[in-house]
Structure 1
């Protein structure tokens, strides 16, 4: 399914235009005539709702606007390190920061107008569908807000500019907000059309996102808020939604891994529940490949921690794999001994173009471009500047399968039915059986052995607070969704931000394995160091004739600095974002109180 781009901008729907209001709500500039005349046909409602597609389904972004895009927008997690100083968590209340309600305002207008002005215009089925679409997007946005801020003001109707008490209302408790979200998602699951045309959101798209949003909230309740009753409520919704997608038979795992991210046309691809289409003919292009085309210099790259997390093709972790070279982390060995997603995600030679890690991310780069640049050629115009036209996955069937199996495993810990081998085969093993690219096979890549419930890997690095099953499900998610949308969000919902503490985990400060004397002798210079498998750091010393031979290990830039402490710090809560001092002061000046986010100083 591709995202529709014909965003309606005619004056009849000018009410969708929003003026910026940083303080509280972005309020629309309405004229009574436009508002009165707009809500007369189903097509008008459809055109109004189309604006939310690019708001919520970002894909690779558009042009140079890629802040929330795949790869570019998700460079803060334990998967990535920077050369030098690491990205930091917020450690102090900012001067100015608060939530944006522009989409909430706009969506509430849509829901209000459909409900109050179109009951006689639309059939009952169409009325319920568009109410479902509106409530789905509203729930989506509130889910994003509570994951960022916890308690947030809840509005289920458009608020007028003179309703001061409403505009400055107190934050609504998170559970109350999410109960409304639960109701909205449930309604959408029952009422959005099963098929509304190939370019439009349907019930299966809704269900796929519900499997993500409800699972996220279930995890927050389970691990952060320690509320098992509420966790179960949302996990059960997530499971029901995922099962709806799976049972439809409309989707499958049929495409090799990298082709899902590098295709010029994802139309008809059964791995895609939703994707964003790019087309030079209508000037809808992006820049993700231009920033990561193997020719551009990048100052962030994969961590050693991520590299070590990939499962071996015998289904075991590298420390106890039966494969003879499993402890050999040279890229040539990793390609042959690790899950096929490793080869599909990274360039297979150390690259000086990635100064942070020497391991270049090529998951989103077409193989023919990778090969051309590696051979000394140029990427070409379509892979430079704002000229990229590869389609972007927005919601993949593989994610829904992973949401489903994780949710089942979580419910089993809350009194639900235990996960069976059939469940593993239906989800994780189905993903592992996806086709391999011919180019990958030529390099010696093989499929990973199926996961066996009775023979789960014995990982010495497993977090002891997590069962072996859930640990392996999380590993599978990490391999499958690397550099997409979820890693930091996953760590937060599992209440595991300690994984990003560089002092606890020094593997976050080194990258890929490089044998400098053999592979990159010209790059042996001051600033280079490597980390051996035993953790020993070897720093290059030009005055030592034996030093070049010692430069064989995980590359670490010598000036890489630890991430500043962010856990167990007074008045610092890295899980939730604070609101700014200016906003708190402005509430006070108006005679109202804006409470600070949980875990941050209240004055």
Structure 2
């Protein structure tokens, strides 16, 4: 077992038993009794559990090979939006409803893990081997329960395979989240002490992976409890800080190129990667790169999110003398945090054959990207999957003119774009690996936890945020804690302390496009700040884009005005002006209607209707 290929190779494991056979089974048939005996048996079964890292019921799915689900958490958070005309965020405009079924309230994966855990004691393995596989099972179960708690809060805690006669479990009420998370943490702490430090080979669940999940879980739970007024927040924040320190010691180096976390063929050679999803030609491939090189990609950034990226001097656009304004995209992206240019396609123009136009301005970012991104990764001009040149960015032309790599906002997301991966319109051929846990997230977890504990100072900033900013293709001015006061960024959320806002900003920027957003804005209890606002794109002059019918946002009404000849592109109005906006009940997902019918003892999430 060398690398995660997530091959579902476990078959015929659990064919029903007939008591008349007593303990005699056909030799050619695997059953629960015969399948879980040796170390190799458990190793084989555990391969099938790795798929849970990208389970369809999990909101954040890095490495998912279909459509755009790897961005979805940031779309729901309002960091990103969809390009289709009339798109409205489901929470901003109160479109979320109680689902008839689904909704993530599913325990099938928990049962699969419990099946392995329930059979460990009856195996012929040594105690050390039993403890190892118990640790692996605890990791997978906690990983999935993290999603359940993040969505629903109180959920049934199920430690064993449920039988048809277990009415006390089948019809049980939800277990309080405080108990569920405590169980998860206890399981993970056992795993940290008993798992084989190096797992079962390269890129398998090991001590570092367990610690990374503890860090993620404890930051989420600690901040959720603090801002949602639940006891014991400090306990989890301390745990996050302590476990993150261990990982920071084990992974002292960062990969020098920010973009290569998502555009590398082999993440085993990239510093700071703790666990990743591997793709290999002719074995397991994806279409993530292809998706960002065709007309299907509907993910775009909006102007507010762009405004969160600092200037190169480490100051916000509201205060930096380096900020050149936003009346052209060339100005707006100049002197900005390079992570903006590595997530959103920079502006450029070339001739139809890809040659320079002769205008130095058109080539400014073509040359810039040669410095920011290494050969084989991001280069301008862009090419679609078939090799056709995208002559200009931003590309907002009607589909009949230029159908591929289009955005309505002008800020086209291309985080996974690279020039080396194979692409085909007929099948998935991409093989770029995708990170599942990496040290960059841990640094941000540590910084935030230390602030919440009242222990964030310049030394912590240097260990974390400034370490991220000093990478070779980032090089943003350092965070100087003593300089950050209420006037540092006048555009910040006024309900968030200035230093904490900068820590959160760094998290948003560093993890942009990785799907953390909707988890974060809910645990911070500041979803309304991100979602209750108008949504607009770049500033344009219609004549520059041959788009007479383009909707410009009226600066007075915030609504589209086709008569205006220049201005910010209209995406969506402020939902509050329409009597909509974020509702308190959205902090938890609703229990689906069919589950409430099946188990009348389940309580609907606060604020949601039962049926």
Structure 2-normalised TM-score? Answer: 0.80
Partner of 2:286: 286
Partner of 1:374: none
Residue 148 of structure 2, aligned match among 145, 155, 166: 145
For 1:104-162, what per-residue CA distance to the aligned partner results, in whole angstroms no more than 9, with x for missing partners?
11111211211x213xx333332222111111221222221111111111111111112
Q: CA deviation at 1:380?
A: 6.4
Partner of 2:476: 448
Partner of 2:210: 206
Partner of 1:131: 134
Residue 554 of structure 1, aligned match among 537, 558, 568: 568
For 1:23-68, what per-residue CA distance to the aligned partner results, in whole angstroms no more than 9, with x for missing partners?
xxxxxxxx9961111122112112211222122147655653x56x
Partner of 1:163: 166
Q: CA deviation at 1:72?
A: 5.4
Partner of 1:596: 604
Residue 416 of structure 2, aligned match among 340, 345, 364: 364
Helix, strand or coil at the partner of 1:262: coil
Change (3 A) 1:301 1:384: farther
Q: CA deviation at 1:491?
A: 0.4
Work out the CA distance in 1 between the residues paired with 2:557 and 2:126. Answer: 67
Structure 1: 5+ residue runs without aligned partners? Answer: 17-30, 370-378, 413-417, 437-445, 542-546
For 1:536-558, what per-residue CA distance to the aligned partner results, in whole angstroms no more than 9, with x for missing partners?
778343xxxxx54xx1x43224x
Helix, strand or coil at the partner of 2:492: coil
Change (3 A) 1:565 1:498: farther
Q: Would the aligned equivalents of 2:265 and 2:432 in 1 still touch at CA under 8 Å? A: yes
1:576 aligns with 2:588: yes
Partner of 1:95: 100
Residue 437 of structure 2, aligned match among 395, 402, 406: 395
Change (3 A) 1:396 1:561: same
Q: Would the aligned equivalents of 1:359 and 1:511 in 2 still touch at CA under 8 Å? A: yes
Counting matched residue pairs gives: 530
For 1:438-489, what per-residue CA distance to the aligned partner results, in whole angstroms no more than 9, with x for missing partners?
xxxxxxxx72111111112611122222211111010000000111120011
Q: CA deviation at 1:203?
A: 0.5
For 1:412-443, what per-residue CA distance to the aligned partner results, in whole angstroms no more than 9, with x for missing partners?
1xxxxx2121111111111111111xxxxxxx
Change (3 A) 1:97 1:264: closer
CA RMSD of aligned residues (A): 2.8
Residue 488 of structure 1, aligned match among 513, 518, 537: 518
Matches within 5 A, 1:53-64: 53-57=50-54, 61=63, 63-64=65-66
Q: CA deviation at 1:254?
A: 2.1
Residue 241 of structure 2, aligned match among 230, 239, 242: 239
Change (3 A) 1:329 1:428: farther
Change (3 A) 1:109 1:289: same
Q: Would the aligned equivalents of 1:255 and 1:434 in 2 still touch at CA under 8 Å? A: yes
Work out the CA distance in 2 between the residues paired with 1:246 and 1:490. Answer: 22
Work out the CA distance in 2 between the residues paired with 1:32 and 1:102. Answer: 23
For 1:366-416, what per-residue CA distance to the aligned partner results, in whole angstroms no more than 9, with x for missing partners?
1x37xxxxxxxxx9635875222211111121111101111111111xxxx
Q: Would the aligned equivalents of 2:422 and 2:429 in 1 still touch at CA under 8 Å? A: no
Work out the CA distance in 2 between the residues paired with 1:2 and 1:330. Answer: 46
Change (3 A) 1:359 1:535: farther
Work out the CA distance in 2 between the residues paired with 1:470 and 1:290. Answer: 37
Q: CA deviation at 1:281?
A: 2.2
Work out the CA distance in 2 between the residues paired with 1:471 and 1:245. Answer: 25
Structure 2: 5+ residue runs without aligned partners? Answer: 17-27, 56-60, 348-393, 397-404
Work out the CA distance in 2 between the residues paired with 1:531 and 1:195. Answer: 59
Work out the CA distance in 1 between the residues paired with 2:64 and 2:320. Answer: 43
Q: CA deviation at 1:565?
A: 5.8
Work out the CA distance in 2 between the residues paired with 1:337 and 1:483. Answer: 21
Work out the CA distance in 1 between the residues paired with 2:151 and 2:166. Answer: 26
1:177 aligns with 2:174: no
Helix, strand or coil at the partner of 1:275: strand
For 1:83-124, what per-residue CA distance to the aligned partner results, in whole angstroms no more than 9, with x for missing partners?
31313135443333461101111111211211x213xx3333
Matches within 5 A, 1:68-107: 69-71=69-71, 74-82=74-82, 83-89=85-91, 91-97=96-102, 99-107=105-113
Deviates more, 1:1-10 or 1:171-180: 1-10
Q: Which has the higher helix share?
A: 1
Residue 498 of structure 2, aligned match among 464, 468, 490: 468
Q: Would the aligned equivalents of 2:596 and 2:610 in 1 still touch at CA under 8 Å? A: no
Q: Would the aligned equivalents of 2:64 and 2:70 in 1 still touch at CA under 8 Å? A: no
Matches within 5 A, 1:355-434: 355-366=407-418, 368=419, 381-382=423-424, 385-412=427-454, 418-434=455-471
Q: Would the aligned equivalents of 2:5 and 2:279 in 1 still touch at CA under 8 Å? A: no
1:8 aligns with 2:45: no
Work out the CA distance in 1 between the residues paired with 2:64 and 2:525. Answer: 33
Q: CA deviation at 1:298?
A: 4.2
Change (3 A) 1:57 1:363: same
Work out the CA distance in 1 between the residues paired with 2:316 and 2:65. Answer: 40
For 1:207-244, what per-residue CA distance to the aligned partner results, in whole angstroms no more than 9, with x for missing partners?
112111111111111112x13x4111111221122111
Deviates more, 1:486-495 or 1:75-84: 75-84
Q: Would the aligned equivalents of 1:80 and 1:301 in 2 still touch at CA under 8 Å? A: yes
